[in-house]
Every structure is written in C-alpha cells, then in structure tokens.
Structure 1
C-alpha cells in the first residue's frame, strides 16, 4: 500500500516509487567483514569526540560503498542537530549535479546535546546511505521514502548488527531507569569482567579478534581509564560550581599508553578499585547533588545523574564487546 503522498506524484514519479517499493533488500556480499568497522563506530560514539566519530563514520560508509561496488560519498559529522528550523533532522543526503554526493550526520540530540544512541546513529547512517544506493546501485532517477526503502534500510542493519548486539540497552534506556538500577549495574560489572576473563593466559587476552577490534586486555584497560575520568568528573563537580569537565580520549590513550602490553589482571584490579571508589562516592551523595553538573566541551552541561546513566550504558556496551572478543569475534 503506497504512502499517502504517492497520489500527488506525477505518473513518471509514481513509476519510480513503485520500482523502489518492489525492492525490499540489499544484500552485502560478506557482512561479517564489516562487523569490525561497526565496532569501531560504536567505540567512537562512546568517546564523545566529533573527530573520532567523523573518522569512524567515514570508514563505515566507505566500507559499505566498497562492498556494494558503488561510488563513494563525502561525509560530514556535525555536533548537535538543529531543532527549531529542521524538526527531527538527524541526517541529510544531498546530490547536486556535477558534485560528489554528500552525507551529513548529527551526533548529538538538539536540546540536551546527548550523543545519539548507537542504534539510532547507525540507522540514520544507513538511511542516508540508502538514498545514495537508490541512485548509484538501483539506478533510480529519484529516491523516495517507500515501504521498500525502509525494508532495505532494515536489511542492511540486520546484516551489520548481530541479534545479541541489538539487545544492548541504549543510553536513553538507562536515562529512564532509576538510580538504584544504575548503581546495581555499576556494582556488577567488575565481577562480570573477572568471570569473563576466567583463567585465560595473558597472551590469549592480548589477541585481537581482528586487526581493527580491541583485544580483551585493551577493553579492560579502557574500562579502567574511563572509570578514572568518571571519578575525576564527579569530584570536580562536587568541588566547584558548574566547572569545566575533563575529556576522555580512548583511541589516543590506547595507542599512547600501549594497552596491548598491559597486564590484564592488574588492569582489572585497578578497575575494580576505582569502581569501588566511584560507588562509595555516589552512595554518600544526597539526591539533590545528583543534579549538580559541569560543562563538557562537546556535550554541554552534564549532571552527575546523566554521567551515571551513561556509565551504565558504557558498561553494557563493553561487556558485550568483551564477550565477542573472547570468542574471537570482532
């Protein structure tokens, strides 16, 4: 059943619409080869750094266009999406005559400036890539929002995101949970990491499932260092009135601090200690203090309440990543 606007199209446009509606799937030749690139995009979003997200988004879109044998597009990642003039805009595809097509994506929500959840960001990315594929792969003369278009978008998402990965709760879901639920999530994580690592040898834990994906050891080091940043942010907020908050630089730290050479048992011990200190600090805070906050250079104002919700989501995401790395899956 065509959407309502179909009746307003010319006969030529309706023919394009019907052709688009008939095609319900875009098959990737080897979707598993793109899973490490999807993981890089997830990690980039957790960094909250626009330049990092830009690089990961470029790789993701280039991997898709290369896999499907279509011309590349220019990519631009912007900060907070506009909301007054552009409604619910998350992404934009433009293809001007004589110019390379361009995809623009907004990595933050308009009003609260939160990083867009991974699934939302990837679906937006695939939506805009879908417009490019209408022209470059399917040979359509125009790109319409048809039922077939949305099914093609979903088919790409399902190939790129295994079912287990799709079950990870979004950041928004953690914002909607109670403080007790978030605290319980944070308290469980060190034991879950320890159980996952088990008695495996350090050499095994240092092995990457693919050249671009982190090893189990690198994931534990990342959790440890992010926990330190979290503690610094909470302490800074409590000691000052709306202070500037320290940033995290995951990719740079992994290189400069040589995560791959760290002792995983020692990294886990440090993470466990820092997480315990974080929980002790949070338990002593009266409810009103959870609304105290500071200014993040990219995300705007962040309250302690928001930081805790994001950390709970961060734990979920990297526990799932750790499980896959231990199984040799990127």
Structure 2
C-alpha cells in the first residue's frame, strides 16, 4: 500500500484554526510550545503503550490504504521532532539559514516506518520531544525573532516555527485517534 505524498503548504495554520484537528496555532504563545509538546508526547506515550500491550500488529494496521498506521505516524512525529530540533538550532546558531530539504514521505519509505520496533519508537518519540521542548524553552527575548527559510520559500521566525511545528504532532494524534484538540 502506498500513500499519496502530501504536497500541501500547511503554513496557513499560523493564521486560522485547523478544520480537522481544531488546533489554533494563531492563538498560541511561542513560550507555551514546550508544555504543549510535552503534553502531546505523553498522549503518544499512552497511545503507543496501549498498542504495544494489545499487540504491536494493531499499531501497524492502516485504517485505509491511503492513511498511515499509528506506528507510521509515531515514527513521523519522532522524526519531525528531530528535524525541527535541527532547524531551530540552525536559526539560533546562524543568521538567516536555509534548512536542508526533508521529504517526509521518502523518509517513511526509506526508514520502513511500519517495520520499526514500537517500543524503540515510543522511547525515541518521547526523548526527541523532550529535547525539542528544552530547545524551545531555552529561547528568550529577541531570539524568538531570528529567521530561517524552507527550501520551498516559506520564511519563519523561531516564534512562527514553534507555532507552526506544534500543529504537526497534535494534528497527527488526531489522525490516529480522531480526538480533536481541546486546549
């Protein structure tokens, strides 16, 4: 089963609520992102732990051919944490960097997301979330306005990338559970 690559530009989430997951990044203070990230990681921890206890095959089941399994989404969230850890690091260390390209769909295939060990994915998801939360928690004052650029031309400050990023793990939790963000 293959997944159709997502080619949408999701930067609109900075301006209005997501009609699917109900998260509204436009009202989030960047300094609240570490807490939101930790809370989300705990939700993933509970979800994956329950799936592991029930038998990991359920975590590998795609609800429909064009939708990732819970394990695949978990791997993606883990990898997003790593990618944004690097991106924020570049913004803190360099003036106006352009981020290296990252193709999430190519990564999912190359890394065989659905074949990974759920316990290792769980540990890594929680660890990478904590690392990224710490990185965001360390940003202060004018650092929030440091800039960086995606290869597709999207421009961010650390403040906007924090708000943009946090939608991703929240949205993917909705993808798996159907539970909308309640704030």
Q: Does 1:194 align with 2:48?
A: no
Q: Is structure 2 residue 70 aligned with structure 1 residue 216?
A: yes
Deviations 1:213-254 (A, max 9, x none): 100110000001111100110111111111111232111111
Q: Please, which runs of 5 or more residues in structure 2 have no aligned partner?
A: 179-183
> Which structure 1 segments of 5+ residues have no match?
1-39, 45-51, 54-106, 108-113, 121-164, 325-330
Correspondence for 2:79: 225
Cα distance in 2 for residues equivalent to 1:219 and 1:233: 20
Q: Tell me how far apart the structure 1 counterparts of residues 101 and 153 of structure 2 sit (CA, whole Å).
A: 10
- Which secondary structure does the structure 2 equivalent of 1:243 belong to? coil
Mapping of residues 266-277 of structure 1, within 5 Å: 266-277=120-131
Contact preservation (8 Å) 1:290, 1:304: yes
For these two proteins, the number of residue pairs brought into alignment is 170
CA distance in 2, matches of 1:233, 1:179: 15
Point out the more displaced range, 302-311 or 173-182. 173-182
Task: Give the TM-score, by structure 2 length.
Answer: 0.83
Which residue of 1 is the match for residue 152 of structure 2? Answer: 298
Could you tell me which of 16, 22, 37 is aligned with 1:169? 22
Greater RCO, 1 or 2 (C-alpha within 8 Å, sep 6+)? 2
The answer on whether the counterparts of 1:224 and 1:271 sit within 8 Å (CA) in structure 2 is: yes
Distance 1:180 1:190 in 2: 17
| 1:167 Cα deviation after fit | 5.7
The answer to whether the 8 Å contact 2:69/2:114 transfers is yes
- Which secondary structure does the structure 2 equivalent of 1:209 belong to? coil
C-alpha separation between the residues in 2 aligned to 1:179 and 1:296?
19
Q: Give 1:4-19 correspondences, 5 Å limit.
A: none
Q: Bigger radius of gyration, 1 or 2? A: 1
RMSD: 2.2
